[in-house]
């Protein structure tokens, strides 16, 4: 009997990235149990490399990271003993070329300070910071200006549009700063305006636009300089929910079309799951877990993360890899099949349509079986079967 491929339904799901689906975050216990670095074998070039980064505000801030007696204190204890605040504490991670790297946390977690440290809008106190292998912390003023103007563009929550300029001239502003001629920069800006869905509004001024349209202008202005990296600092948090969702989908669409590296800051878990390939969850200046959306939701590192993801619809984030069971006699050889990155929600529909078990197949290899019982276990937060390093269900 020939195998039948069961297609996934088109439902509004968070992003999935096959390149990152199996990359687990790891903890660097050798230096500090709270320092998190990448754990997966991602072979793409590293754009940003961050190691043991600190940002401390207050008197004699540079002494805090080196002082083991105070570096591990809680935020309140550190303030009481030293008068200092550690906004970013011993943070390590890599951002790979072409990924959407999300930094998520509540207010005061250090996420916005961290993204500003990447281009030294805020000067780090200590640690290693590289972009494309270059030491950002040692860059002179000219190199830093070049990085901010051409290599890494920021999209802020507050748009910062010039009220006396039209849409197209706001978008062209960065190109003007770079010295591009008026005709050329306007032509390029018009192309970007069309790309972000504002065609026909080129001659309007910011005051004639809605909040969502203004944010699209801000996004277009960042895209116009063709940066290697886009840095988003809670860009949509002030927008109405429906407009915010539209802008999230716009980011996903642009990334799908261009593959541009993005670092995205948010306090919204749903937003992080929707746009991110990987998520770094921060608390009190530290990264408490780094992983794919599936890893964050399916394997929370501690009670704090577990509380964060408690209300997430697991079937819209987790894949059949977490639900499948070992194949019984004859089940692995024939029958309908699903890809291992199929969402649980789609697998539930597939099993309902077929009326029986469905194989999880990667190439020619059957990794396991999903049926009503094992899918329900995952949705109900029951522990599923364990898997080996090849993704197959352990016996």
Residues 267-306: tens digit of each pLDDT: 999 999 999 999 999 999 999 999 999 999 999 999 999 9
pLDDT for 121: 96
The CATH architecture that domain 315-379 belongs to is: Alpha-Beta Complex (3.90)
Q: Which helix or strand (DSSP H or E) is residue 241 part of?
A: helix 241-258
Domain boundaries, the chain: 18-314, 315-379
Lowest mean pLDDT among 125-134, 279-288, 366-375: 366-375
The Cα 382–Cα 368 span in angstroms is: 18
pLDDT of 8 above 80? no
pTM of the model: 0.81
Q: What is the 3-state secondary structure (H, E, C) of 175-217?
A: HHHCCCCHHHHHHHHHHHHHHCCCCCCCCCCHHHCCHHHHHHH
The position carrying tokens 């849409």 is 167
**What is the pLDDT confidence band of residue 199, given thresholds at 50, 70 and 90?**
very high
Tokens describing residue 288: 């408490």
248-257 in b/e form (b: 16+ CB < 10 A) is bebbbebbee
Cβ atoms of 119 and 152 closer than 8 Å: yes
C-beta separation of 288 from 271 below 8 A = no
Quick check: 11 and 345 in contact, CB under 8 A? yes
By CB atoms closer than 10 A (0-12, 13-18, 19+), residue 130 is middle
pLDDT at 120 over 60: yes
C-alpha 139/C-alpha 145 separation (Å) is 9
Q: Which tens digit of pLDDT belongs to each residue from 162-188?
A: 999 999 999 999 899 888 999 999 999
Classify domain 18-314 by CATH number.
3.40.50.300
Q: Which residues contact 44 (CB under 8 A, 6 or more apart)?
A: 19, 96, 97, 98, 99
The first and second tokens of residue 30, run together, are 């050798």
Q: State how far the Cα of 224 lies from the Cα of 193, in Å rounded to an integer.
A: 9
Q: What is the DSSP letter of 316?
A: G
CA 65, 70, 73, 75 torsion: positive or negative? negative
């Amino acid at each position: 009997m020939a195998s039948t491929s069961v297609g996934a339904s088109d439902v509004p799901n968070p992003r999935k990235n096959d390149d990152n689906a199996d990359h687990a975050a790891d903890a660097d216990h050798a230096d500090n149990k709270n320092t998190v670095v990448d754990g997966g074998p991602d072979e793409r070039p590293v754009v940003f490399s961050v190691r043991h980064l600190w940002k401390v505000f207050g008197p004699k801030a540079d002494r805090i990271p080196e002082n083991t007696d105070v570096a591990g204190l809680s935020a309140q204890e550190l303030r009481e003993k030293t008068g200092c605040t550690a906004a970013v504490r011993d943070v390590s991670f890599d951002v790979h070329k072409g990924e959407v790297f999300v930094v998520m946390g509540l207010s005061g977690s250090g996420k916005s300070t961290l993204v500003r440290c990447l281009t030294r809008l805020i000067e780090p106190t200590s640690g290693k910071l590289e972009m494309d292998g270059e030491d950002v912390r040692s860059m002179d003023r000219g190199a830093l200006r070049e990085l901010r103007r051409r290599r890494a563009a920021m999209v802020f929550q507050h748009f910062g549009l010039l009220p006396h300029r039209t849409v197209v001239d706001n978008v062209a502003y960065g190109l003007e700063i770079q010295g591009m001629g008026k005709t050329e920069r306007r032509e390029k800006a018009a192309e970007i305006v069309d790309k972000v869905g504002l065609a026909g509004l080129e001659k309007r001024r910011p005051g004639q636009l809605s909040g969502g349209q203004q944010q699209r202008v801000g996004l277009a202005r960042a895209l116009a300089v063709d940066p290697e990296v886009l840095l988003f600092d809670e860009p949509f948090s002030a927008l109405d929910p429906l407009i915010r969702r539209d802008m999230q989908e716009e980011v996903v669409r642009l990334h799908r079309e261009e593959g541009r590296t993005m670092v995205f800051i948010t306090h919204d878990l749903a937003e992080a799951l929707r746009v991110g390939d990987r998520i770094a969850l921060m608390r009190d200046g530290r990264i408490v877990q780094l992983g794919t959306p599936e890893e964050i939701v399916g394997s929370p590192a501690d009670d704090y993360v577990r509380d964060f993801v408690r209300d997430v619809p697991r079937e819209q984030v987790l894949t059949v890899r977490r639900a499948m069971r070992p194949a019984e006699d004859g089940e692995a050889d024939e029958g309908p099949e699903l890809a291992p990155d199929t969402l649980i929600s789609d697998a539930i529909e597939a099993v309902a349509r077929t009326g029986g078990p469905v194989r999880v197949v990667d190439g020619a290899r059957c990794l396991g079986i999903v049926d009503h019982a094992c899918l329900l276990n995952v949705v109900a937060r029951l522990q599923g079967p364990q898997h080996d390093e090849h993704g197959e269900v352990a016996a």
